[in-house]
Amino acid sequence: MPARIDLSVGEWNRVSPKYVVVVVVSTLLSGLVLSAAAVFLWLVAGWSWAWIALIAIVVITLISLFVANRRTRSIGYRLRDDDLLFRRGIMYQRFVSVPYGRMQLIDITRGPVGRILGLADLKFVTAAAATSVVVPGLPEAEAAELRDRLVELAESRRAGL
């Protein structure tokens, strides 16, 4: 029986603490849009039950804002010998191992709030659509450096195939 991977060994690289601002702004905008839709359905369209949806939206938005900092701190990645290990999540934790030789595309994206804060998201795509991984909230220089390093590792691993 193969040995389990010890996820507690080694140093996890974390996303920038500024990324919590991106999460908060995104949560507030989503809550505002959904609340406006619920108010419209309640007052204009005459859906009498829409006030219940409005309360639920406000409660979910407030809870999301409350855990935003913890959610941001749960995101991390680690470069290992043969793969990149990514983690995220508080209650439902997700660990994804992306082998360097399987990486087909490494992309940097920057949203408007992230751009203002100097942050970027690094996206890895493999042949399997389910293994698409996004490491959000990296400082732009770190994202570019990591992308170049991963491209180098991916090319060296594919050469051996």
Per-residue pLDDT 10s for the chain (161 aa) are 555 556 666 789 999 999 999 999 999 999 999 999 999 998 888 888 889 999 999 999 999 999 999 999 999 999 888 888 999 998 899 888 888 888 888 899 999 999 999 999 999 887 776 667 899 999 999 999 999 998 888 888 765 55
What pLDDT was estimated at residue 159? 52
Q: Are 84 and 134 in contact (CB under 8 A)?
A: no
C-alpha 36: how far from chain center: 26
Q: Where are the beta strands (DSSP E) in the chain?
A: 13-14, 76-79, 83-88, 94-99, 103-109, 119-126, 133-139
The values of phi and psi at residue 28, to 5°, are -65, -45
What pLDDT was estimated at residue 5? 59
What pLDDT was estimated at residue 156? 82
What pLDDT was estimated at residue 153? 86
